[in-house]
């Protein structure tokens, strides 16, 4: 017989401790913590409602997660080369990073664009650039993730033109368009138009995809960037679900049946270092979405309530000091994503506090995934942490608290109104400041930063180096393409786009035609800017 | 040190990473400074105008896109054109070689990613406290 009283006495003097999300954790969890609603009902089986244990019955025994390193820099040629390098190293799908002008709707020769061309991602000005990006990569075979939001409809249109030119039917395209504009206002900050027309564009894409792109995820509802901007795991989950509710309302409000688009909604979470809390969060996310989809939106198709997600590990947890430690941090985070049942994973380069990752660093990120996949054995059984007293208790706790965050957003008028009032942005900034002060005081241990610092200096890293002439080359190419196209056809296509915007029609067909005619990303964005205006963030600072 | 140092902080260029600069704004405020954070995508002319208008003791910009050299150059030009002598501090993902280049261009200090928060605050306060005659 165990003696609980004696145990409690022996541990009574232990100092308190909390998770990353400030959830108080006791030294021990037991079967008594699993009381309450029947565990079987809260968990289900993998591939069955409420999907707590995973979206698919066989999980990684059936199919490993997709290894999808985020990549892009310079022009299409350089990025195409990096893609092919990654595929040769065993990566199983692609993920495109775009430069800032592309993400904000400026052509490479715009004054605001010039210093930024090709820096944080690939520069795209016309559909020809997208063609070249996928040169030698058959789009019916390779799944592509696009981290693009404000200009997502334009990039999707260019991708469809590239598919046409490869003779690939739209129904064979697979991949994901991030297209989550709400989290741009919330945290990532690459918005262009005000929230309401931005929601219209995002919903146009989802609606178009529901009709034409059956294997493509037209949105990835994302908590990752709010987390990177400083919020905790509970806030990340609550804010993501509040955004998901806002998109679903927008689409249902158009008279579209929830079950026609919900199965293709995908999600994106960070996985950071508090391993068990992260696993709990990812499991809670699936149960929470099931509850929202069925109870709030009346989902009839089980696939509408089955949450699938991509996980990126957190750059914010990595340090400039002792950068090789980041390899270890990323390994723990990748393991968390896998134990949490991710469908797709990215692992950060250890050198990203300094530059875009070097070839050596991205290879190591991919190897991290491969070692976990093929050597660790964690893939053998679905949801291996299920039934753990601690993990189940924490899953319940994270879910309960995330619902409170959702309630707070709801009280502020829903996700859009809350953003416009700057409320969740404030939560995120306050949390970021708290974390930084905790690191400063030592209350939050960071090896190499406030523990075991090495005064000897930094390791010499072989950093990535961007060819400084890349911007000029891109601009020259853009100008040649502008000169070579049929100007009358471009003008007509842009006029047709303006008319469709005015009349409230779905923007996708006109964007596809304009892209095909050779209109540039900047020209199409200007038509949208003309119609919608631009958003200036309210500045309470 | 005169009371209430005037600090102008801004994000020039296009990148949206504002976690760091907001944290620094809050920390400088807690240290007693008068801080104006101008927000995202500020043009060099806007930042320089704010520096003049607020009689800034220091101007801090944060860039995480790698475009820090070009943007700092534009800002220094705009500051001169606007007649502001406030020192400029640059933070973000700045490799060591670029940090030297920035200092040679006339940037007063460079605070790369990984600089502890209290050190960021003390270095900005020190620079802001230098008498203008020494600048």
The minimum CA-CA distance between B69 and chain A, rounded to whole Å, is 9
Question: In chain A, whose CA is at the least distance from the CA of B18?
Answer: A229
Q: What is the CA radius of gyration of chain A?
A: 23
**CB atoms A189 and B18 under 8 Å:** yes
The number of domains in chain B is: 1
Instruction: For A117-147, write each residue's pLDDT tens digit.
Output: 999 999 999 999 999 999 999 999 999 999 9
Domain ranges of chain A: 485-532
Determine contact: A184 vs chain B, CB below 8 A. yes
CB A106 within 8 A of CB A525: yes
Residue B104: other Cβ atoms inside 10 A: 8
Say which residue, B45 or A540, is predicted with more confidence: B45
Residue B132: Cβ within 10 Å count: 9
Domain with residue B108: its CATH number is: 3.40.50.280
Q: For the ranges A98-107, A306-315, A427-436, B126-135, which has the lowest average pLDDT?
A: B126-135
pTM value is 0.95
Interface A:B, Cβ pairs < 8 A: 93
Q: In the predicted model, what is the mean pLDDT of chain A?
A: 95
pLDDT at A541: 59
Listed range (A259-273, A296-310, A443-457, A522-536) with the worst mean pLDDT: A443-457
- Tell me how far apart the alpha carbons of residues A230 and B17 are, in angstroms, rounded to a whole number: 11
Confidence class of residue A475 from pLDDT cuts 50, 70 and 90? very high
Which of A115, A439, A539 lies closest to B39 in CB terms? A539
Q: Nearest C-alpha of chain B: how many angstroms from A378? A: 34
Using a CB–CB cutoff of 8 Å, tell me whether B123 touches chain A: no
Residues of chain A with C-beta less than 8 angstroms from the C-beta of B10: none
Phi and psi angles of residue A335, each rounded to the nearest 5 degrees, phi first: -60, -40
Confidence at residue A467, expressed as pLDDT on a 0 to 100 scale: 87
Rounded to the nearest 10 degrees, the angle between the axes of helix A508-517 and helix A487-503 is 170
Contact A281, A237 (CB under 8 A): yes
Nearest residue to A175 via CA among A204, A124, A213: A213
For the segment A313-360, what is each residue's pLDDT rounded down to a tens digit? 999 999 999 999 999 999 999 999 999 999 999 999 999 888 889 999
Judging contacts by C-beta atoms under 8 Å, the chain B residues touching residue A539 are 37-39
**Across residues A515-520, what is the average pLDDT?**
98
A539 has a chain B CB within 8 A of its CB: yes
- Domain limits at B32? 6-125
pLDDT for A466 equals 85
- Smallest CA–CA distance, residue A69 to chain B, in Å, is 19
- pLDDT band of residue B1 (cuts 50, 70, 90) is very low
Residue B104 belongs to some domain of the structure:
yes
Q: Which value does ipTM take for this structure? A: 0.93
Quick check: is B131 in a domain? no
In a domain, B133, yes or no: no
Q: Is the pLDDT reported for residue A455 higher than 70?
A: no
Closest by CA position to A100, among listed A188, A202, A183, A199 = A188
pLDDT > 80? residue A367:
yes
* Closest CB from B22, B65, B67 relative to A541: B22
Residue B87 lies in a domain: yes
Nearest chain B residue to A442 by CA distance is: B116
The CA distance from A60 to A56, in Å, is 9
Let me know if residue B99 belongs to a domain: yes
Of A43, A57, A126, A196, which is closest to residue A520 (Cα–Cα)?
A: A126
Q: Nearest chain B Cα to A99, which residue?
A: B65
**Residue A540 pLDDT grade (very low, low, confident, very high; cuts 50, 70, 90):** low
For the stretch A67-96, pLDDT in tens is 998 999 999 999 999 999 999 999 999 999
- Per-residue model confidence as pLDDT tens digits over B66-105: 999 999 999 999 999 999 999 999 999 998 899 999 999 9
């Amino acid at each position: 017989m165990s003696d609980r009283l004696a145990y409690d006495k022996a541990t009574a003097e232990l100092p308190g401790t909390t998770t990353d999300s400030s959830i108080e954790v006791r030294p021990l969890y037991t079967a008594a913590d699993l009381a309450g609603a029947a565990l079987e009902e809260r968990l289900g089986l993998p591939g069955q409602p409420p999907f707590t244990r995973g979206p698919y019955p066989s999980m990684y025994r059936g199919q490993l997660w997709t290894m999808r390193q985020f990549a892009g820099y310079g022009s299409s040629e350089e990025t195409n080369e990096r893609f092919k390098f990654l595929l040769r190293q065993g990566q199983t799908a692609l993920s495109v990073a775009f430069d800032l002008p592309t993400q904000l709707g400026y052509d490479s020769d715009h004054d605001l664009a010039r210093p930024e061309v090709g820096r944080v991602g690939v520069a795209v000005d016309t559909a020809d650039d997208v063609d070249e990006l996928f040169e030698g990569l058959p789009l019916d075979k390779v799944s592509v993730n696009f981290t693009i939001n404000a200009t997502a409809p334009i990039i999707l249109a260019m991708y469809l033109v590239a598919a046409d030119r490869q003779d690939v039917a739209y129904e064979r395209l697979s991949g994901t368009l991030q297209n989550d504009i709400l989290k741009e206002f919330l945290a990532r900050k690459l918005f262009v138009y005000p929230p309401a027309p931005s929601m219209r564009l995002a919903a146009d894409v989802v609606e178009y995809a529901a009709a034409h792109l059956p294997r493509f995820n037209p949105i990835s509802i994302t908590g990752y960037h709010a987390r990177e901007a400083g919020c905790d795991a509970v806030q990340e989950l609550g804010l993501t679900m509040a955004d998901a509710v806002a998109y679903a309302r927008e689409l249902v409000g158009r008279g579209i049946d929830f079950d026609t688009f919900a199965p293709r909604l995908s999600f994106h979470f960070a996985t950071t270092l508090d391993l068990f809390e992260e696993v709990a969060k990812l499991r809670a996310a699936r149960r929470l979405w099931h509850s929202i989809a069925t109870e709030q939106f009346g989902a009839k198709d089980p696939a509408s309530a089955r949450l699938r997600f991509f996980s990126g590990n957190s750059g914010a947890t990595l340090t400039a000091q002792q950068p090789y430690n980041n390899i270890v941090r990323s390994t723990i985070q990748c393991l968390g994503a896998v134990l949490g049942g991710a469908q797709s994973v990215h692992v950060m380069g250890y050198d990203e506090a300094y530059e875009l990752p070097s070839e050596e660093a991205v290879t190591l990120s991919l190897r991290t995934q491969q070692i976990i996949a093929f050597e660790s054995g964690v893939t053998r059984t679905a949801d291996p942490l299920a039934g753990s007293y601690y993990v189940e208790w924490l899953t319940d706790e994270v879910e309960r608290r995330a619902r409170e965050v959702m309630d707070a957003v709801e009280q502020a008028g829903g996700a859009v109104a809350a953003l416009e009032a700057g409320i969740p942005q404030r939560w995120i900034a306050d949390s970021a400041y708290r974390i930084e002060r905790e690191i400063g005081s030592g209350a939050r241990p960071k090896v190499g930063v406030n523990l075991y610092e090495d005064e000897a200096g930094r390791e010499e890293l072989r950093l990535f180096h961007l060819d400084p002439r890349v911007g000029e080359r891109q601009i020259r190419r853009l100008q040649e393409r502008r000169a070579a196209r049929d100007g009358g056809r471009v003008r007509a296509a842009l006029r047709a786009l303006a008319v469709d915007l005015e009349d409230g029609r779905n923007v996708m067909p006109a964007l596809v035609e304009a892209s095909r005619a050779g209109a540039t990303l900047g020209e199409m964005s200007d038509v949208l800017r003309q119609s919608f205006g631009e958003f200036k963030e309210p500045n309470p600072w | 040190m005169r009371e209430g140092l005037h600090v102008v902080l801004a994000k020039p260029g296009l990148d949206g990473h504002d976690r760091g600069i907001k944290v620094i704004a809050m920390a400088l405020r807690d240290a007693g400074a008068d801080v104006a954070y101008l927000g995202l995508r500020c043009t060099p002319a806007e930042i320089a105008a704010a520096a003049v208008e607020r009689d800034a003791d220091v101007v801090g910009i944060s860039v995480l896109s790698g475009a820090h050299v070009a943007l700092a150059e534009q800002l220094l030009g705009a500051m001169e054109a606007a007649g502001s002598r406030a020192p400029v501090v640059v933070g973000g993902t700045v490799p060591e070689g670029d940090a030297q280049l920035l200092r040679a261009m006339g940037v007063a200090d460079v605070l790369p990613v990984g600089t502890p928060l209290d050190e960021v605050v003390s270095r900005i306060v020190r620079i802001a406290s230098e008498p203008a005659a020494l600048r």
